[in-house]
């Protein structure tokens, strides 16, 4: 008697065969069947959380060129790591990465622990692993939802999608299988206009058979992000130095550099903005403001600029950064937008 082979198992075999011919050549990836370098895998996986391959690739190359192994990364200052990470977003990942590198270098002689349990005890790996398990890759989610024609909207569908994906994992080459599903989602089963005609799952895919693959997975309507508003103060000394400070290490944008600013509030009162500047100066408000989307809220910042004399001392907690160093500061995206807006404005600043 022949044992029926499940849809998941047939699909897994087809995806792996396709992967062997069509895999993306990614810099952190080992060749099929080969052992990967744990440092590269770890670095790339942390960078790839919530971030696209295209965005990660140049950062990954730059990190690897500068810190080719975990020991050299551990020896870097946290400021250097934050600067190198600037622009990639979700900055707690950079802090965790650095803390973890120090522990591996200090307690494990620079080698990653062999067991998953020991790995999970490392700083940053516990929460990271939990997050990685909790949120399977978006590409995989899409392929599985279409393959099994799962019509329940996300995020409620995640439980079923995860269970189906888990059932598909083959006993042999589970790592390659995960990579294969990610590649299939990125290259063939794309969010819009999936290329079903060239897909190895074409004859198995229920979403394709029912003719509704492209609209899967469906999503529950997203609650509107609240809008917070605030003011940013661009204060320049006559010699070009700009007033900045480093944010506290924990919390939103922790450890990053910022311009002075007001709190960000939903009921922000523009009339009181100037009174929140940490330094008295002849501020002028730019006509344009900037907008930035964080995960849980949208932000609109008005921008106030002023120039002060060279001998002005920075207020407590702030420092002057010379004009030539401005682009090397670890500014997050939102602050870069403010600086860009000031540069574009060509504002003719006055000295107090």
Q: Which residues are catalytic?
A: 45
Counting Cβ atoms within 10 Å, is residue 143 exposed (0-12), middle (13-18) or buried (19+)?
A: buried
Instruction: Name, in order, each residue with C-beta under 8 angstroms of 350's C-beta and a sequence gap of 6 or more.
Output: 282, 284, 306, 307
CB of 160: closest distance to ligand SF4 in angstroms? 16
Strand-pair partners of 245: 258
Tell me if 146 contacts ligand SF4 by CB under 6 A.
yes
The only residue of 122, 205, 281, 339 in contact with ligand SF4, by rule CB under 6 A:
205
d(C-alpha 90, C-alpha 50), whole Å: 8
CA distances from 34 to 21, 42, 63, 257 (A): 16, 16, 23, 41
Q: If you compute the radius of gyration of the chain from its CA atoms, what whole number of angstroms results? A: 25
| Residue appearing with tokens 């099929």 | 32
CB of 196: closest distance to ligand SF4 in angstroms? 3
The only residue of 8, 207, 217, 314 in contact with ligand SF4, by rule CB under 6 A:
207
User: Smaller CB distance to ligand SF4: residue 201 or 259?
Assistant: 201
Tell me if 342 contacts ligand SF4 by CB under 6 A.
no
- For the record, the structure tokens of 99 come out as 């803390």
Tell me if 9 contacts ligand SF4 by CB under 6 A.
no
The only residue of 93, 102, 208, 312 in contact with ligand SF4, by rule CB under 6 A:
208
Provide φ and ψ at 143, rounded to 5°.
-60, -45
User: Smaller CB distance to ligand SF4: residue 147 or 303?
Assistant: 147
Contacting range for ligand SF4; rule: CB under 6 A; set: 96-104, 202-210, 298-306, 334-342: 202-210
Tell me if 8 contacts ligand SF4 by CB under 6 A.
no
Strand-pair partners of 237: 308
d(C-alpha 39, C-alpha 101), whole Å: 9
Tell me if 186 contacts ligand SF4 by CB under 6 A.
no
Tell me if 330 contacts ligand SF4 by CB under 6 A.
no
CA proximity to 99, closest of 121, 66, 114: 121
Contacting range for ligand SF4; rule: CB under 6 A; set: 76-84, 133-141, 188-196, 307-315: 188-196
Query: Sign (positive/negative) of CA torsion 147, 151, 157, 159?
Result: negative
CB of 222: closest distance to ligand SF4 in angstroms? 23
The only residue of 46, 56, 147, 182 in contact with ligand SF4, by rule CB under 6 A:
147
d(C-alpha 34, C-alpha 134), whole Å: 27
The kind and range of the H/E element at 290 are: strand 290-293
Contacting range for ligand SF4; rule: CB under 6 A; set: 75-83, 91-99, 199-207, 309-317: 199-207
The kind and range of the H/E element at 244 are: strand 242-246
d(C-alpha 268, C-alpha 265), whole Å: 5
CB of 143: closest distance to ligand SF4 in angstroms? 5
Tell me if 229 contacts ligand SF4 by CB under 6 A.
no
Contacting range for ligand SF4; rule: CB under 6 A; set: 44-52, 110-118, 140-148, 299-307: 140-148
Contacting range for ligand SF4; rule: CB under 6 A; set: 43-51, 74-82, 143-151, 312-320: 143-151
What is the binding site for ligand SF4 (CB under 6 A)? 143, 146-147, 188-189, 194-196, 199, 201-202, 205, 207-208, 213
């Amino acid at each position: 008697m022949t044992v029926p082979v499940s849809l998941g198992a047939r699909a897994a075999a087809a995806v792996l065969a396709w992967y062997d011919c069509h895999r993306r050549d990614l810099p952190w990836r080992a060749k099929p069947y080969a052992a990967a370098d744990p440092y590269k895998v770890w670095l790339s996986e942390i960078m790839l959380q919530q971030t696209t391959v295209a965005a990660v690739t140049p950062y990954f190359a730059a990190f690897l060129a500068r810190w080719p192994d975990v020991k050299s990364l551990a020896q870097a200052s946290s400021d250097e790591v934050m600067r190198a990470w600037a622009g990639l977003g979700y900055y707690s990942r950079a802090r965790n990465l650095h803390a973890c590198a120090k522990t591996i270098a200090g307690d494990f002689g620079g080698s990653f622990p062999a067991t998953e349990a020991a790995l999970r005890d490392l700083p940053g790996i516990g929460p990271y692993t939990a997050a990685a398990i909790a949120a399977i890759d978006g590409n995989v989610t899409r392929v599985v939802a279409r393959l099994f024609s799962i019509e329940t909207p996300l995020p409620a569908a995640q439980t079923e999608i995860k269970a189906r994906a888990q059932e598909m994992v083959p006993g042999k080459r589970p790592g390659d299988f995960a990579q294969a599903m990610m590649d299939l989602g990125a290259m063939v089963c794309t969010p819009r206009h999936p290329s079903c005609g060239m897909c190895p799952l074409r004859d198995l895919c229920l979403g394709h058979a029912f003719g509704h693959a492209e609209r899967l997975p469906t999503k529950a309507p997203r609650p509107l992000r609240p809008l917070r508003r605030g003011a940013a103060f661009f204060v320049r000394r006559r010699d070009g130095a700009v007033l900045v400070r480093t944010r506290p290490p924990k919390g939103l944008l922790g450890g990053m550099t910022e311009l002075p600013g007001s709190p960000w509030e939903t009921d922000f009162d523009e009339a009181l903005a100037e009174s929140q500047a940490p330094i008295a100066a002849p501020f002028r408000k730019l006509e344009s403001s900037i907008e930035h989307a964080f995960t849980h809220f949208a932000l609109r910042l008005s921008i106030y600029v002023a120039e002060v004399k060279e001998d002005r001392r920075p207020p407590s907690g702030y420092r002057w950064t010379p004009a030539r160093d401005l682009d090397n500061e670890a500014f997050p995206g939102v602050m870069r937008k403010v600086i860009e807006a000031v540069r574009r404005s060509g504002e003719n600043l006055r000295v107090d």
